Structure formats: C-alpha cells, structure tokens
Amino acid sequence: MTRTLVLIGHGMVGKRLIEALRAGEHGNDWRVVALAEEARPAYDRTLLSSYLTGGDAERSALLTPSVPDDPAVRLMLGTPAVRVKPGRRVVHAAGGERVGYDALVFATGARPFVPPVPGHDRPGCFAYRTLDDAERVRRAARPGRPAVVVGGGVLGLEAAAALRALGMRVHLVERSDRLMAAQLDAAAARVLAAFVAGLGVRVHHATTVASVDGGPGGAVRGVTFAGGATLPAGLIVFAAGVRPRDELATAAGLTVAPRGGIAVDDRCRTADPHIWAIGDCAAVHGRCYGLVNPGYRMAEVVAAQLLGRGGKTFTGSDASVRLKVMGADVASFGDAHARTPGAVEFAQLDRAAGRYAKLVLAADGRTLLGGILAGDARAYPTLRAMLGRELTIMPPGLLAGAASGR
Amino acid sequence: MTRVVVVGAGPAAHRFVECLHRRGHRDPVVMLGAERRPPYNRMLLASVLAGALPAEAVTLPDLPAGVEAYRSATVTSIDRATRTVHLDDGRRFRYDALVLATGARAVVPRVPGIRWRGGLSPQVRPLRTLDSCVALGPGPVCVLGGGVLGVEAALALRRAGHRVTLVHRHPYPVNRHLDAAAGTLLARHLADRGVDVRLEREAVRYDEGLLVLRDGETVAANTLLLCAGARPRVELARAAGLAVAGGIVVDDRLRTDDPHVYAIGDCARYGRESGGGVARAWAQAETLAALLTGGRRRYEPVPAVVRLRDPELSVVALDRPRPRAADGRAETVTFTDPAGRRHAALEVLAGRIVRGVLYGLPQATAAATQLFDRDLPLPADRLALLLGTPPRTGTGDLPDDAVVCFCNTVTRAGIVAAWRRGCRDRAALGEATRAGTGCGTCVAEVDRICERLGAEPARGPATETGRLLAVGSGVTP
Ligand SMILES: Cc1cc2nc3c(=O)[nH]c(=O)nc-3n(C[C@H](O)[C@H](O)[C@H](O)COP(=O)(O)OP(=O)(O)OC[C@H]3O[C@@H](n4cnc5c(N)ncnc54)[C@H](O)[C@@H]3O)c2cc1C
Ligand SMILES: Cc1cc2nc3c(=O)[nH]c(=O)nc-3n(C[C@H](O)[C@H](O)[C@H](O)COP(=O)(O)OP(=O)(O)OC[C@H]3O[C@@H](n4cnc5c(N)ncnc54)[C@H](O)[C@@H]3O)c2cc1C
C-alpha cells in the first residue's frame, strides 16, 4: 500500500530526502507531497554569491533548477504549509488545501537573524538567504558607493565579497575581535583580516551597529556604531547568523530545543512517531548545524527509516567549512578549537606569505582531530579525509619548503 | 714582548689565559682576581648552595704553567698613561695589553632592610659567588627574583628540604627568555614541587625573617636569596675614563676606546648585545686570545642557548642575534599541549631557527638545539621534529575507508574500485561514485588519488596498462 510523505520545505536538504528515498525504493511505497514556500524548486543556496558575481549562465542555472519528473512526487511551489495538526495527521497548505500524511518531515531550514536595531527594516536593508534576497541586493547595488555588511562570519564575508565584486566600497562590521570567530582562532583570523583588508574591504572589529539611519523618504542613509561613530552607506546586508524555522512545529505542539530548532533524537525523530525534522531547522540532541552536509546526513537517516531500514543514526557531523572568497582560502574542520581533553595543537604561521595552518591532534600526537587553514587551504580535502585517523601524510601545504605549492 | 694583565678570574679570564697559552703565547701573563678562591664555574652554584655539590666540585681546571695568578687581589684603579693597574694592597702591575674581565655582580634591590651597615643584612645573600654558598641556616628561604637563577635555586633548595617561597615581579617566571605559555607551565611545575610561587609581587621591606610585599602580604624569609639579576662591573673602567654604556663598550676586536685595553665576558658590551652567559664569555675569550696572538678573527655575537638546569625539567630558550627587521619576516611554528605540559614556539627565518622556546620536549629540544647551534635548516615536517617521530612526506595513500567526499559519503575504497572499473578521471569517477559532485571541495583529493593510482603498478586489465603508465608518468610512487 502506498503511503504519503509530506515534506515541508523544499530546500537543499528536503530535496536530498526525496532523492534518497526514491533511490532506495523498489516499488512505489511512498507518495511525496512537498510544500515549498519559495516559488522555485530547491537550488544550491551555497552558490548565492555566485548568483551576484557570476555571469548570466550561472544566474539562469541557479534560477531554473531542475527536478526530475517523477509522478510519485508532487511539488507544490509557492505554497507554504501554514498549519500542522499532528492529532489528525494533516497539514494545511496556504490556499486552503489539506494534505493527510503517514509521515511528516520538517525541512524548513533557517531564517536570517536580523538584529532588532532601530531602522533595521528601512528600504536598503537586506537579508542574505534566498535567491530573491540576492536579486534585491543586486538591484540595489551601486558601484563606488559604500555598503555595510553586518556580521563577520562565513556569510558576511561572502556577502562582502559579492558586494565588492559589484564595485561597492564595503565595510564589514564584526562584533567580536575576529572574523569567522566560530571557525577560526586568532592567528587565522588575523591572516584573513589582513587579506580582506588588502582587497579594500574595511573591517570594523569589536563593534556593533547600534542603528540604521534614514534619509529623506526613510531609505538607508548610513549606520551609527555602538561607540557613536557614524558611517554613510546606502545598502546594508545583515548576515548576523540564522535561526532555525521552528515556528510551525512549535504551533503544532512539538518540542523545541532550548536554543531553538525542532528537538529530535539521533534518528531525527520528534516525540511524535510520525514526524521528523532534518536540516537547518532540526536540533539533534539540542544542536543545530546550519550546514549542508549534516543536513544531507540527516536526510539519509530519515530516508532509511521510511524505507524500513531504521538502523542508521546521525552521529553528529563536524562543522567543517572551507571559505573561498576574494581569493582568501580559509578552512576549519573537526575539533578546530582543540576542545577534546588532552588535545595538542601544532601551528605554522608565515606572516609574510599570509599563510597559517594549525593541526589539532589527540594526546598521542598522531590522531588528527581537526585544524584550521588560512591563506592556503589546499590541504583541506586531504586533511578532512584523515579526520579521526593517524596523520600518515603531511599535506604539502603543511610541509616547509613545499608550502608555496611549486 | 707583550705583557698581558687580566683583571678578574672568572670563566672569561680563565678561558682567555688558557687559549692564549694554547696559541703559543709565552710572554708574561698576570691574572688578578679579587676572590680568595681559584676560578670556578658559577653555573653550578645553586647545587652547592643546596648542599648537593661540594664547593671543590666547581673549581675550573688548573691554569696553564707560567700564568702569574693572584688571588684576593682587587684592582682599584687603572693608570692608562703609564699603563699600570693598582691593587688595594698597594701592589701595581704594568701592562702592554689590559684585559678587563670583571664580570658582573648581583643586583641588590633597593628594598629597605636588605642593606645593613654599608653591607648586606646577615640574612641576605646574593647568589653570585662561591663564598655566598655556605650552608643555609634553618628556617624558610625566600628567593627574590624568578629568573633562570632564582628558579634553579628555588628547585634545588626545595629538593634539599627547605621551605621555599619564590617572589617574582612578572606574571610568570623566566619572563626574559620564555613566552607566556612556557612560563605558565614552569610556574605550575614549581608549585607542584612545593615552591610557594608569588607572581606579580614586589618586595617593599625586609624585616628580620620577614619579607613584606607591596600588597601587605608577608613572606617568611629566614634567608633572603637575591636572584634579581646581575649588573656588569664597570666602575674600574668608568673611573679610568673608558666608554661605558650598559657595560664596557667594545668593538668587534673586543677593544675599548683605548687600544691597549680590552674587555670580555659579563662586563663587556658589544653593539645591541645584552646579557651575559658563559657561551658569550668563552667566545669573546677565544676571539681575543686569537687576536692577541696574531689571528684575524672578529667577534660575532653568539647564538644564546638558555637552559634551566634541573633534573626533572627540559626547558630551553634559543635566541640568535639578528637584525630587528628580520622578525617581521619570520615564520612561527608552535606546538601546545596544555594537558601534557608541553610547549614549543619557534621563529624560523629562511628555514632556520632564530628564536625558540621548548618546554617538556627533551627529544625535540636536543634536535632543535643542535640545528640552532649549527645554523642548519629544519626538516620539512616540523611536527615530527617536535614530537620526535619519523618525518612524513606529502605523498601517501589515505586509508581505504577514509571518507573523501563528505557530501556523498564516498570512501577512498569506492573511488579506487571505480578506477579499477575504468573510470580514469575526475569526471568519470564523479559520475560513477558521485564523489566531487557536491560542494566540490574534495575534487583536489580525488585528483590526487587518481594521480597516485596512475603511478601504482597496474593491477587492472592488461590492455589498460599503457594508459595507466601514461597517467602516472612523472609521479613517484
Ligand atoms: C549565502 C549562503 C552560503 C552558504 N554556503 C554554505 C556552504 O558553503 N557550505 C555549507 O555547508 N552551508 C552553506 N550555507 C548553509 C546552507 O545553505 C544550509 O545549511 C542549507 O541550505 C540547509 O538546507 P535546508 O534544506 O535545511 O534549509 P533551506 O535551504 O533553508 O531550505 C528550507 C526551505 O524551506 C522553506 N520553508 C520554510 N518554511 C516553510 C513552510 N512553512 N512551508 C514550506 N516551505 C517552507 C524555505 O523557504 C526554504 O526554501 C550557506 C547559506 C547561505 C545563505
Ligand atoms: C648561580 C649562577 C648560575 C649561572 N648559570 C649560568 C648558565 O647556566 N649558563 C650561562 O651561560 N651562564 C650562567 N651564569 C652566568 C655565568 O656564570 C656568567 O656569565 C659568567 O660567570 C661570566 O664570566 P665572567 O668571567 O665574565 O664574569 P664573572 O664570573 O663574574 O667573573 C668575574 C670575576 O672578576 C672578579 N673581579 C671583578 N672586579 C675585579 C677587580 N676590580 N679586581 C679583581 N677582580 C675583580 C670578580 O670577583 C669575579 O671573580 C650563571 C651565574 C650564576 C651566578
């Protein structure tokens, strides 16, 4: 008998769930109804910046993602779910349609966090999450004019790079004393900051935007920093983090983790046996990942359960990240901050060359636990593959003399 | 005939007269030493003080025959016009070449109660001379100053069963030579050994048996051991009108501004070089002996290797004289193991160590010090050097079950299998395994695997051998 899976959200992870499910099925055990808020099928969100900086071909590839023509999958674009009734196992879609389910999966992703400073919603302020956001930013960009990016994390740097490529004079505001604070240590952040500054992006460390100021008509005219200094700017991009979209689940009475995200176990199950959550919206044992790979792992774990092969669990995924913007090559993987008890750190910094590499090893000095690369992250794929294993190869980037890569 | 007179009888003077003799100098040599002992090795004084070594054990080898050595002979003035030195007992000696090797004296902090009747209070001892190392009386000892000397003395005295407090002005001991990480580990070691360590504290008064600190705290101190540094003994030179600036100023021939007067050892100051040490004293003594016997040598500042002498510790600080501008170009190599109490920080210029601190890494210390001493380049795998493990190379295979493509969970084994089935490049492998088709991060590693497989002796079908070799040409297995 065919059962119905309702998927809320057709983002990168939701799409992956459908693929995994369809690839593992022999017959047509499942019929899938996917409710998508966005007007287009899932696209590669990680390429948002190339949408801004790339050519027409890249743009149209992103704008018109392809989904396989599959009679077992009904994709309802531009039709967000507005209500979930677990007791009746039914989902209300915008427009009034009600869809019953045997299994329900939340893949609603995350929304950008916009700090509630006065003026944050003035015309000229943008978030950085969807293609529509990117399109708005593209239209508002004015070469030669100043722009402010709020947030010095991965997203903020990407946005800054994109605005720079659009010819704007970019100011990046980071609350802490280092860029990519979640992923980098102080030395790597300095290498990155020097590089970014060299490209003409002005980085404002250890300060926040206290207000967004308007000109005639209310449009953005500039920002005021916490210290009182002001900066003229006609375009503001908020990239100050994301928050899991758990509101629909909350309204349905599902448990939400203390720091947000739909609470699930290592099989991505909520307390309701018919409901799962995966991707950016899910908090596995309290933790939200906010990255594609962990989301994919979760999608696979849930697909296995829907196919009756329930053994797979999500064992956590490290938040490995490689950022390649404006030619700055930065990566952070595994236990980058050496939080494992007994962990040792080995680091090489070449200030003149703008290159830094750090390895985190277990107490035995052999097992690779993580690391940070800045200025040259070519060793990243090799090192990441060696995570948790004895470091038997020293990637050229970490060997003196070979460092220049010649 | 050149009559050489040496003022001072420490390691610098001792090495100088020895070299002079070895180089064939047979003209008169006079050595005038203020101490009543024959020349001795100061480096082991902490052990003598703690009773671990008898005083005789530190005596330096006998002087060469023919050296006229006088003990308890204090030079009080130099008459440069007549080229004569005067002693406190009225004797005088004429010289053709005068070598000042007056060393340094312990700094006596200006703390009320330490000085007494023009000398030192009987309970206060500077750690500088053998005479100050007679057995300590009972009761707690306070070591004032946490430099190399203070730390060595504190540990030696503690090992000998004394109650010891170490008072140091800076946030961690040996701050002149160590970085904060190593200094902090050292402070922990001292505490573990039972030394009561008081950091960032300053003494303001000494009342019999009690040292009062600025914050009002008091430290029991039946003996107060001064380890607050040493200052070059320059008064003789200054009174004679020679140039003095943080030491007796010398050029690269160890000559003062008087062509007949030289200075070596802790009392001499060459260029920016600061601080003493036997290695420097010896290098200067040898250079000067060579120059005075017709050699063409010039003095070059020696790389400093500062070790903490303690049976339980492996701590070394390395420092090579270099232009200031070089520092910005140096690479930094660090190793930190807070739990295992190991730490290393090296500054590397053109592949060579110019500065370094190693703590708790005896094997690495030996290797690094050797390379530093001989100014040899470090091996490429510096982690292996620091851990004392065999060096790795940049090539090698990942384990078969290592995940290469995280987006699609493809292992190396999966890629190898596809290769064996005939997928010979990134694109073909991607199609077969999905490796590299996600975020694209791993394509470099997929390429590397391809390259290495190409270099591997063919295991595939014989017809493919030619292709395999072609792919692998130029790649070493
Ligand atoms: C610019 C940018 C660059 C990034 N770069 C990287 C990177 O390099 N590497 C990396 O690992 N991660 C990156 N990320 C993060 C990555 O994009 C996310 O982790 C990933 O998109 C999560 O997938 P998801 O499907 O869980 O959520 P999303 O991709 O956010 O998809 C969720 C979808 O659900 C929809 N939705 C929400 N509520 C409803 C509802 N009620 N009804 C119907 N639909 C709903 C949303 O509109 C959205 O389309 C980047 C993100 C951005 C914005
Ligand atoms: C406890 C201790 C441990 C040390 N450990 C180390 C170590 O591990 N490594 C290291 O490199 N260095 C160490 N040092 C420093 C090292 O001992 C000195 O660098 C070295 O002794 C310098 O030799 P010198 O001959 O120049 O001076 P000194 O050894 O100071 O000798 C100078 C001599 O000249 C005499 N003199 C001075 N003025 C006159 C005068 N007017 N007339 C006659 N005689 C005079 C003095 O009485 C003295 O005997 C240590 C020092 C001490 C005290």
In angstroms, the CA A277 to CA A285 distance is 12
Q: What is the DSSP string of A363-381?
A: TTS-BEEEEEEES--TTHH
CA angle centred on B132, ends B129 and B134, rounded to 5°: 125
pLDDT tops 70 at residue B467: no
**Nearest CB neighbour to A400, from listed B328, B340, B382:** B382
For residue B323, what pLDDT band results from cuts at 50, 70 and 90? confident
At A132-185, the pLDDT tens digits run 999 999 999 999 999 999 999 999 999 999 999 999 999 999 999 999 999 999
In angstroms, the CA A84 to CA A249 distance is 7
Mark residue B95 as left, alpha or beta (left: phi above 0; alpha: psi -120 to 50; beta: remaining): beta
Task: Please report residues of A whose CB lies closer than 8 A to that of B328.
Answer: 351-352
For residue B223, what pLDDT band results from cuts at 50, 70 and 90? very high
Q: Can you state the angle between helices B412-420 and B443-455, rounded to 10 degrees?
A: 50
Confidence at residue B135, expressed as pLDDT on a 0 to 100 scale = 86
* Tokens 């090698």, located at residue: B396
Confidence at residue A401, expressed as pLDDT on a 0 to 100 scale = 62
In angstroms, the CA B177 to CA B181 distance is 12
In angstroms, the CA A24 to CA B437 distance is 19
Give distance in angstroms: CA of A58 to centre of ligand 1: 19
In angstroms, the CA B135 to CA A60 distance is 89
* Tokens 């790339």, located at residue: A54
Determine how β-strand B315-319 pairs with β-strand B352-359. antiparallel
pLDDT tops 70 at residue B461: no
Query: Quick check: B288 and B29 in contact, CB under 8 A?
Result: no
Give distance in angstroms: CA of A210 to centre of ligand 2: 62
At B354-395, the pLDDT tens digits run 999 999 999 999 999 999 999 999 999 999 999 988 888 877
Give distance in angstroms: CA of B288 to centre of ligand 2: 18
Distance from CA of A148 to the nearest CA of B (A): 28
Q: Considering every ligand atom shown, identify the ligand nearest to the alpha carbon of residue B143 and give its number.
A: 2
**Nearest CB neighbour to A393, from listed B331, B389, B396:** B396
Confidence at residue B173, expressed as pLDDT on a 0 to 100 scale = 98
Task: Please report residues of A whose CB lies closer than 8 A to that of B397.
Answer: 393
The backbone torsions φ and ψ at residue B231, rounded to the nearest 5 degrees and listed phi first, read: -125, 135
Q: How far is CA B238 from CA A381, B2, B78, B107, in A?
A: 66, 25, 10, 18
Q: How many CB atoms lie within 10 A of CB A228?
A: 7
Cβ(A36) – ligand 1 distance below 6 Å: yes
Position A71, amino acid = P
Mark residue A174 as left, alpha or beta (left: phi above 0; alpha: psi -120 to 50; beta: remaining): beta
At B137-171, the pLDDT tens digits run 889 999 999 999 999 999 999 999 999 999 999 99
Q: Verify whether the Cβ–Cβ distance B337 to A400 is below 8 Å.
A: no
A-side interface with B, Cβ within 8 Å?
46, 292-293, 296, 300, 320, 322, 341-352, 359, 363, 365-366, 378, 380-382, 384-386, 389, 391-396, 398-402
Q: How far is CA B263 from CA A198, B24, B73, in A?
A: 51, 21, 18
pLDDT tops 50 at residue B466: no
How far the first Cα of chain B sits from its last, in Å, is: 70
At B394-453, the pLDDT tens digits run 778 888 888 888 878 899 999 999 999 999 888 899 999 989 887 788 888 888 888 888
Q: How far is CA B455 from CA A238, B176, B471, in A?
A: 50, 53, 7
Pocket test for ligand 2, best of B5, B15, B37, B43 (most atoms within 8 A of CB): B43
pLDDT tops 70 at residue B460: no
Q: Verify whether the Cβ–Cβ distance B333 to A348 is below 8 Å.
A: yes
The answer to whether B443 faces chain A, any CB pair under 8 Å, is yes
Confidence at residue B471, expressed as pLDDT on a 0 to 100 scale = 23
Strands, E, within B276-433: which ranges?
304-307, 315-319, 331-337, 342-349, 352-359, 403-405, 410-411
Q: How many CA atoms lie within 13 A of B345 on its CB side?
A: 12
Per-residue pLDDT of chain A (406 residues; tens, 9 = 90+): 799 999 999 999 999 999 999 998 887 789 999 999 999 999 999 888 888 888 888 888 888 888 888 999 999 999 999 999 999 999 999 999 999 999 999 999 999 999 999 999 999 999 999 999 999 999 999 999 999 999 999 999 999 999 999 999 999 999 999 999 999 999 999 999 999 999 899 999 999 999 999 998 999 999 999 999 999 999 999 999 999 999 999 999 999 999 999 999 999 999 999 999 999 999 999 999 998 989 999 999 999 999 998 788 998 776 788 887 777 899 999 999 999 999 999 999 998 889 999 999 999 899 999 999 999 998 998 999 999 999 988 887 787 765 443 3
Query: pLDDT averaged over chain B?
Result: 90
Determine how β-strand A344-350 pairs with β-strand A125-126. unpaired
Determine how β-strand A230-232 pairs with β-strand A220-225. antiparallel
For residue B260, what pLDDT band results from cuts at 50, 70 and 90? very high
Six token digits for residue A223: 């920002």
Confidence at residue B327, expressed as pLDDT on a 0 to 100 scale = 73
Give the mean pLDDT of B81-93: 97
The answer to whether B412 faces chain A, any CB pair under 8 Å, is yes
pLDDT tops 90 at residue B202: yes
The answer to whether B396 faces chain A, any CB pair under 8 Å, is yes
In angstroms, the CA A369 to CA A349 distance is 19
Task: Please report residues of A whose CB lies closer than 8 A to that of B443.
Answer: 381
Q: Considering every ligand atom shown, identify the ligand nearest to the alpha carbon of residue B310 and give its number.
A: 2
Task: Please report residues of A whose CB lies closer than 8 A to that of B359.
Answer: none
| Helices marked H in B200-242 | 235-239
Q: What is the DSSP string of B40-68?
A: B-GGGHHHHHTTSS-GGGGBPPPPPTTEE
Pick the closest to residue A155 from A40, A321, A311, A286 (CA basis). Answer: A321
**Nearest CB neighbour to B399, from listed A345, A389, A399:** A389
ipTM for the predicted complex comes to 0.84
Q: How far is CA A87 from CA A100, A252, B159, in A?
A: 11, 9, 75
Task: Please report residues of A whose CB lies closer than 8 A to that of B395.
Answer: 393
Helices and strands, counts by H and E, chain A: 9, 25
In angstroms, the CA A347 to CA A323 distance is 19
Long-range residue pairs from A338-345, CB within 8 A, at least 24 positions apart, any chain: A338/A369, A338/A370, A340/A369, A341/B339, A342/B339, A342/B340, A343/A369, A343/B339, A344/B335, A344/B336, A344/B337, A344/B340, A344/B342, A345/B334, A345/B335, A345/B336, A345/B337
At B446-455, the pLDDT tens digits run 888 888 888 6
In angstroms, the CA A245 to CA B96 distance is 92
Q: How many residues does chain B have?
A: 477
Q: How many CB atoms lie within 10 A of CB A382?
A: 24
Confidence at residue B391, expressed as pLDDT on a 0 to 100 scale = 85
Task: Please report residues of B whose CB lies closer than 8 A to that of A341.
Answer: 339
Cβ(A292) – ligand 1 distance below 6 Å: yes
Give the mean pLDDT of B183-200: 98
Confidence at residue A110, expressed as pLDDT on a 0 to 100 scale = 97
Pick the closest to residue B379 from B366, B367, B397, B365 (CA basis). Answer: B367
Q: How many CA atoms lie within 13 A of A317 on its CB side?
A: 27
Q: Can you state the angle between helices B11-22 and B278-292, rounded to 10 degrees?
A: 30
Confidence at residue B192, expressed as pLDDT on a 0 to 100 scale = 97
Q: Taking CA atoms, what residue in A is nearest to B390? A: A392
The answer to whether B394 faces chain A, any CB pair under 8 Å, is yes
Ligand 1: residue whose CA is nearest its atom 29: A11
Q: pTM for the complete prediction?
A: 0.86
Query: Quick check: A220 and A235 in contact, CB under 8 A?
Result: yes
Q: Verify whether the Cβ–Cβ distance B392 to A350 is below 8 Å.
A: no
In angstroms, the CA B81 to CA B175 distance is 44
Q: How far is CA B133 from CA A228, B126, B223, B344, in A?
A: 63, 9, 12, 34
In angstroms, the CA B233 to CA B29 distance is 22
Task: Calculate the CA dihedral of residues A17, A18, A19, A25 and round it to 10 degrees.
Answer: 110
**3-class secondary structure, A5:** strand
In angstroms, the CA B440 to CA B43 distance is 61
Q: Verify whether the Cβ–Cβ distance B406 to A320 is below 8 Å.
A: yes
Cβ(B278) – ligand 2 distance below 6 Å: yes
Six token digits for residue A139: 């239209």
> Any residues with CB less than 8 A from the CB of A167 and at least 6 apart, and which?
A141, A143, A144
Q: How many CB atoms lie within 10 A of CB B229?
A: 15
Pick the closest to residue B293 from B25, B10, B13, B11 (CA basis). Answer: B25
For B119-143, give one letter per residue: b (16+ CB within 10 A) or e. Answer: ebeebbbbbbbbebbeebeeebbbb
Pick the closest to residue B213 from B223, B199, B195, B229 (CA basis). Answer: B199
Q: Considering every ligand atom shown, identify the ligand nearest to the alpha carbon of residue A155 and give its number.
A: 1
Task: Please report residues of A whose CB lies closer than 8 A to that of B348.
Answer: 400
Query: Quick check: A306 and A104 in contact, CB under 8 A?
Result: no
How far the first Cα of chain A sits from its last, in Å, is: 61
Distance from CA of A122 to the nearest CA of B (A): 35
Ligand 1: residue whose CA is nearest its atom 14: A46
Confidence at residue B468, expressed as pLDDT on a 0 to 100 scale = 25
Query: Quick check: B60 and B70 in contact, CB under 8 A?
Result: no
Q: How far is CA A285 from CA A277, A334, A384, in A?
A: 12, 19, 24
Distance from CA of B334 to the nearest CA of A (A): 5
The answer to whether B444 faces chain A, any CB pair under 8 Å, is yes
CB pairs under 8 A between A and B: 125
At B224-240, the pLDDT tens digits run 999 999 999 999 999 99
Burial of A65: CB neighbours in 10 Å, binned 0-12, 13-18, 19+: middle
Q: Considering every ligand atom shown, identify the ligand nearest to the alpha carbon of residue A44 and give its number.
A: 1
Q: Taking CA atoms, what residue in B is nearest to A361? A: B337
Strands, E, within B360-474: which ranges?
403-405, 410-411
Q: Taking CA atoms, what residue in A is nearest to B342? A: A344
In angstroms, the CA B233 to CA B250 distance is 14
